[in-house]
Amino acid sequence: MQVVDLLIFISYMAAMLYVGFFFLRKNKTIEDYFVGGRQMNSLYIGLSVVTTDVGGGFSIGLGRLCFIMELSGSWLLFTGLTGAWLNGVFLIPYVLRLTKGRGFFSFPQFLGSVYDNRVAHYSQVLFRQ
């Protein structure tokens, strides 16, 4: 490893530690930690969901699949990105309106209130992949 690489790595780690300690001091309650103090609007929640969905699996895994399958594989990437965008624009604001003031921390809690506790338990297993 070159000196420049080591400096970049150390700088990055120092910046991440700074961000972590900054928000550690800023978070005072459990709601601050888990749901941003309930101060985030649906745009930020939708962007968070989309960026989580379009992470390494999408950018690396589907990119490789598209390379192997050529044009037919690119449809998987296109439809996946479109679905993530539609969730971020339409589904997340809708669910946010339904859950306003109910104190949920997770989507399985929301599903348990809409359906029943069995659905909440199944969804917890599915969401922890």
Are 53 and 79 members of one domain? yes
Host domain of residue 31: 1-39
Q: How many CB atoms lie within 10 A of CB 46?
A: 22
Among all chains, which residue has been given the structure tokens 């348990």?
A: 112
Which pLDDT tens digits describe the chain residue by residue (129 residues)? 799 999 999 999 999 999 999 988 888 887 787 777 777 777 777 777 777 767 766 767 777 777 787 777 777 777 877 887 888 788 878 877 777 778 787 778 888 888 888 888 888 787 764
Same domain, 4 and 35: yes
Residue 31 belongs to some domain of the structure: yes
Q: Which of 127, 43, 36, 35 is nearest to 85 (CA)?
A: 43
Same domain for 53 and 29? Answer: no
69 and 27 in a common domain: no
Instruction: For residues 33 and 44, state if they share a domain.
Output: no
Tell me the C-alpha to C-alpha distance, in Å, between residue 77 and each of 7, 34, 62, 88, 95: 35, 30, 6, 17, 25
- Its pTM stands at 0.51
CA distance 93 to 85: 12
Domains held by the chain: number: 2
Please name the residues in contact with 115: beta carbons below 8 A apart, sequence gap of 6 or more: none
